[in-house]
Amino acid sequence: MGLRRSWLESANAPEGEFPLNNLPYGVFSVGDGDLRCGVAIGDRIVDATGLEAAGLLRADPDADVLDAPYWNDFMELGREAWSRYRAALTAMLADGADEAVQDQIITHSVPMAEAVLHMPFRVSEYTDFYSSLHHATNVGTMFRGAEHALPPNWLHIPIGYNGRASSVVVSGTPVTRPHGQIKASDDATPRFAPSARFDIELEMGAIVGQASDGPISVAEAFDNIFGYVILNDWSARDIQAWEYQPLGPFQSKATATTISPWIVSAEALEPFRTNTPAREMPLLDYLLEPGPMLYDIVLEVGLTPDGSTETVIARTNYREMYYSAAQQLAHHTSSGCPMRVGDLLGSGTISGPERHSRGALLELSWGGKEPITLDTGETRTFVEDGDTISLRGHAQGDGYRIGFGSCVGKVLPARG
């Protein structure tokens, strides 16, 4: 499929993030105005809340679902309603739409440059996974040696931990360096101090759009995922090293999780589906995928020191993941765990086989032993105060791309 042309010319730029093929969902405000649900198209945001209130485009004929500052109520309508709404909005924005329809869209839209973006959905609960073979191998090699890099269960199940929904913030939100309990070596006394090894993790986030009350199949899990965001799992490695045994990460991962402002629907990503990698061990039947359930999404990490210029420090691809979001969700439900609309699943750090494709500074600097050099000549082992981290990604089509908007966070000094 090539570019779907829109009468809004800015949506037809080959390198633009928001063509008619995309139509991602977000929440915006202008000036002192209320928060409203919106859809990105070219350089404008369609006011979905306004279209619904005017009776011009409704997702549910019997109820307002876009009158709250999040897309959760819309998600609850289900996959068929998602598809109908997307098709109707596509028709209104497509080349050849009536002039009256175009006028309605212009009336109920704003320039993106004038808008402030907010959290696009209400996070019910948050689970983060550890599903990149290259990342897990690199981290395991650093701490346990190459022969014991992967835990015995890693090739059999998607490993994850329950995070904090309260810590999830939208792109642009500053992140304060955390304090925590740190123990530098086996013979040292623990101390309470700011993290000196503050890190980022390049991830994708899958958003659950349909609730489930018990185990669901991988195919059902795939259908239950509403869309995807880019996600930065901020991680305090020195706090993590002291606390993670025996129950895994806790405060080291509770500072913040930043997401990109636009939810790209699963339907928009449909042309970019791809298979997970060949298995080193056969999976149990409940984790088998009936078709391609991963996506070809190009990703990169930029680091900008305070008052300086950006260096792209990593490039990788979502297709590197060993487990898809559908497999992660199916495994999450396998114990009978209920899932809610708005649950967020972090993919885990996305790393490729080359050094430049590693999705965390822990890997890029090999635990701090091999500093990376920025274009400015400065070096980094971990994130320093004043650094701005920008995660970006897109799926590349024929003459168009599907973008997510940047996932940005600036690190502020620790308090006190």
Instruction: From 299, 335, 344, select the one nearest 319 (Cα to Cα).
Output: 299
**Tokens matching residue 88:** 């109707």
Read off the amino acid at residue 338.
P
Please report which residue ranges of 230-334 form alpha helices under DSSP H.
237-243, 325-333
Other CB atoms closer than 10 Å to residue 38's CB: what's the count?
Answer: 32
Tokens coding 328: 């992660």
Alpha-carbon 21 to chain mean position: 19
d(CA 66, CA 38): 9
Question: Is 299 strand, coil or helix?
Answer: strand
Give counts: helices (H), strands (E), the chain.
Answer: 9, 27
Phi/psi for 203 (5° steps) reads -140, 170
Catalytic residue among 135, 331, 332, 394: 135
In which element (H, E) is residue 364 found?
A: helix 361-364
**Is there a catalytic annotation at residue 135?**
yes
Listed residue (223, 267, 269, 208) closest to 86, CA to CA: 267
The residues pairing with 345 across neighbouring beta strands, listed in sequence order, are: 127, 206
Question: Any idea what DSSP says for residue 6?
Answer: B
C-alpha span between 326 and 347 (Å, rounded):
10
Helices (H), 35-149: 48-53, 72-75, 79-93, 99-107, 133-144
Tell me which residues are annotated as active site. Answer: 135
